[in-house]
Amino acid sequence: MAPITNGRVLFNAVPTDYPVPGKTTVYDTSASIDLDAVPLNGGILLKVLVLSVDPYMRGRLRETHIESYLPAFQLGEPLNGDGIALVLRSECDGVKAGDHVRGHLPHQEYIIFPDRSALTLIERDPRLSWTTYVGAAGMPGHTAYMAWAEYSKAKKDEVVFVTTGAGPVGSMVIQIAKQQGLKVIASAGSEEKVEFMKSLGADVAFNYKTTDTMQVLKEHGPIDIYWDNVGGDVLDAAMQNAKRFARFIECGMISGYNGGYQPMKHPDLIFGKCLQFHGFLVGYIRPKYIDAFNAEIIPKLAAGELRFTEDVSYGLDKIGDVMLAVQKGTNTGKAVVVVAQE
């Protein structure tokens, strides 16, 4: 077989604000690959099917000397993130052509992995698409289910405030909380998203761009649990309207990803109200909960008992546009890029 193009999305320049498609990242078609003849040297040849685009990726668009909880992307090299791939060829025990794997994949069409250590074999419930396995059935679903189980200490009739409630994580948190009998206050950034949160069962759903978060929490709180995806002024409002011993589950702070983080206005509330802050990275708690997630959540997703939305784009060249949409919140569901069909 003659060599074919192996498209890639390269990290091209560190952004100073929001990432700029075509500048921060570029779609490159200069590389090629012969799928039949390329040496595997005991490894695995993958065809990438779907890639997840997530808010945390903005933090990796930085200079390599700046330390953080995840390494920076390398300038001139492909981005990488959660994805699903099809095995085309394998010289690795336990992996065969036709298998599907999930892992942290470079943003390119074809990849050779030296072994299976960074990959997980995965079988798809036929009622779900592969896109769902990087969304509600993947890392965002894991994040919601596992952190809620680990940190919420939820009790029936308690009040939870969920930010980014129409997103892939927040929407799952809303549904889990309602199933456990809590009152749910939820926010998002458009009227369409507000209606979606209401359809999930949120008792109070509002558009934070047109409604004062502080006033909503004063009227419908105080809160026992805060699921934080945004930080900034919203975190301050949650702290001021929290009950004593309230649990704060710190999942993300997207308000600071592009323009810098805002200090807490009233850090004294942490001890004054005995607030319990739980920062987490889902990878550290996944082993404890993955079997329960697969047994409980996957069947509910497949049966339609848990709802989710996806914002699917087609083509590796769309990665830059999708990254910007995620940072600005203009996507209307879990952001997924379909790179290829099987």
Which of 234, 237, 249, 240 shows the shortest CA–CA distance to 273?
Answer: 240
139-283 belongs to which CATH class? alpha beta
Q: Which stretches within the chain are classed as H helix?
A: 139-151, 168-179, 191-200, 213-220, 232-240, 269-272, 282-303, 319-328
Tell me phi and psi for residue 340, to 5 degrees: -160, 160
CATH number (3.90.1150.10, 3.90.180.10, 3.40.50.740, 3.40.50.2300) of 4-134+309-338 reads: 3.90.180.10
pLDDT of residue 27: 98
Assessment of whether the complete model's pTM goes beyond 0.85: yes
Residue 222 tokens read as 């105080």
Residues 171, 308 contacting (CB under 8 angstroms): yes
The CB density around residue 132, as the number of other CB atoms within 10 Å, is 24
pLDDT of residue 256: 80
Separation between Cα atoms, residue 17 and residue 282, nearest integer Å: 27
pLDDT of residue 260: 84
Q: Which residue bears the tokens 């100073």?
A: 16
pLDDT of residue 283: 93
pLDDT of residue 204: 98
pLDDT of residue 261: 86
- Domain residue ranges in the chain: 4-134+309-338, 139-283
Opening angle at CA 332, ends 21 and 212, nearest 5: 105
Contacts of 207 (CB under 8 A, 6+ apart): 187, 188, 189, 190, 191, 193, 194
pLDDT of residue 332: 87
pLDDT of residue 129: 96
pLDDT of the chain along its 342 residues, tens only? 789 999 999 999 999 999 999 999 999 999 999 999 999 999 999 999 999 999 999 999 999 999 998 999 999 999 999 999 999 999 999 999 999 999 999 999 999 999 999 999 999 999 999 999 999 999 999 999 999 999 999 999 999 999 999 999 999 999 999 999 999 999 999 999 999 999 999 999 999 999 999 999 999 999 999 999 999 999 999 999 999 999 999 999 988 888 888 999 999 999 999 999 999 999 999 999 999 999 999 999 999 999 999 999 999 999 999 999 999 989 888 999 999 998
